[in-house]
Amino acid sequence: MLPISANSQETSSDPGDQLIGVWSPSDGRSYLKIEKIGNKYFGRVVWLKEPNDENGNPRVDKNNPDESLRSTPLKGYRVLKDFIYDTEEEMWKDGTIYDPKNGTTYDCKIELIEENKIEVRGFVGAAVFGRTDVWTRLVKKKK
């Protein structure tokens, strides 16, 4: 059974809290839970389509540039860090996203484009030099 989260922003008056919830990147290979810690937003892997490697062991962060972290399991790994919500620009920014496929951390900004869709843009230096992915919020089905 896959983890599903309710639309958690319904109880908060902070517009930045619209980001809180479980999201699926466009490739559908993982789910990330975004939560608020203090005044910043963080996201960690909570589900993987292929949680184990070819040997049946849990997938680990084998491409991390820090050798001491290469045995860290990907499930539970915090890949989104330190986002703040900018009320004027209506986006989350000043955060980073880590790509375990290549072991690289990118600057990142996130923008809500629909109630349950966000654009996540990872980049190096200027946002023009990057890639955007659309993530979809997982919501409970109404009975």
pLDDT digits (tens, 9 = 90+) for 22-48: 999 999 999 999 999 999 999 999 999
Q: Report the DSSP pairing between strands 21-24 and 30-37.
A: antiparallel
Read off the pLDDT band of 128 (50, 70, 90): confident
Strand partners, 43: 34, 80
3.30.390.50, 2.40.128.520, 2.40.30.10, 3.40.50.720: which CATH number matches 8-137? 2.40.128.520
The answer to whether residues 33 and 19 touch, using CB atoms and an 8 Å cutoff, is: no
**Residues whose CB is less than 8 angstroms from the CB of residue 11 and which lie 6 or more positions away in sequence, other chains included:** none
pTM of the model: 0.87
Which SS3 state, helix, strand or coil, does residue 27 take? Answer: coil
Residue ranges per structural domain of the chain: 8-137
DSSP-assigned letter for residue 58: B
Strand partners, 95: 108
Task: Report the amino acid identity of residue 85.
Answer: Y
